[in-house]
């Protein structure tokens, strides 16, 4: 499954110091790979040892040679490119958009992560909300990016993607209070939660 077009231009993505890097080895933000995505990553040269569960899991990360945190093993720090970019997992393709459960875990939300420097600048801000006194819900994106976000949300609620996400519910993360909510995904919620 490939999402097009990419939200953040590739040349901006490759210069970024945020993606593919993690403050701790067990970071909840490590990308989740489905069984198919694990097979594709391995066929593109990623050591199978980085996957603790071949039916689907978050990838294990490696120490950054600079001693500052951890890196996805698919990330090449020398070229600053992903070694498996053509087959990167849906979790990576979605970023800086996020799929997460509501705080009460009763519906799925679609939002954008203000830790993404590109989207943060597009919103007219310098610092993400957790580093300032800004309320994340007050951050706004230009209309063109909002339209693109709604297009991605529509794709996520298409029949084919609903089936995919229903098979891989771990692609929906726990609630993250700093994510700026764009919309509630009712069809995805209905597909994931049993009827009451």
Domain parsing of the chain, residue ranges: 10-89, 96-192
Rg (CA), the chain: 17
Bridge partners for 184 per DSSP: 109
pTM of the model: 0.83
Residues 95 and 19 sit within 8 Å (Cβ to Cβ): yes
pLDDT, position 99: 93
Angle of helix 143-156 versus helix 159-167 axis, rounded to 10: 70
pLDDT, position 11: 73
Q: For residue range 165-174, list pLDDT tens digits in order.
A: 999 999 999 9
Count each helix (H run) and each strand (E run) in the chain, helices first. Answer: 7, 10
**Mapping DSSP to helix (H, G, I), strand (E, B) and coil, where does residue 97 land?**
strand
As averages over each run of 10 residues, the pLDDT of the chain (196 residues) reads: 68 77 89 95 97 96 89 91 91 90 95 82 64 61 82 90 91 89 94 81
Q: For residue range 94-110, list pLDDT tens digits in order.
A: 888 899 999 999 999 99
């Amino acid at each position: 499954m490939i999402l097009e077009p990419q939200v953040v231009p590739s040349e901006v993505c490759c210069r970024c110091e945020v993606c593919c890097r993690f403050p701790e080895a067990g970071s909840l933000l490590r990308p989740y790979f489905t069984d198919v995505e694990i097979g594709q990553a391995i066929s593109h040269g990623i050591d199978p040892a980085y996957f603790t569960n071949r039916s689907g899991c978050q990838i294990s990360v490696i120490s950054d040679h600079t001693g500052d945190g951890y890196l996805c093993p698919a990330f090449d720090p020398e070229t600053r490119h992903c070694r498996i970019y053509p087959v990167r997992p849906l979790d990576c393709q979605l970023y800086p958009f996020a799929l997460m459960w509501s705080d009460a875990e009763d519906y799925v939300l679609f939002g954008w992560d203000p830790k993404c420097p590109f989207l943060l600048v597009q919103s007219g801000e310098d610092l993400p909300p957790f580093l300032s006194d800004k309320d994340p819900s007050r951050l706004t994106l230009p209309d063109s990016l909002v339209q693109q976000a709604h297009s991605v949300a529509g794709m996520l609620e298409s029949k084919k993607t609903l089936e995919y996400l229903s098979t891989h519910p771990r692609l929906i993360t726990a609630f993250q209070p700093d994510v700026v909510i764009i919309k509630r995904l009712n069809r995805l919620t209905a597909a994931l939660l049993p009827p009451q």
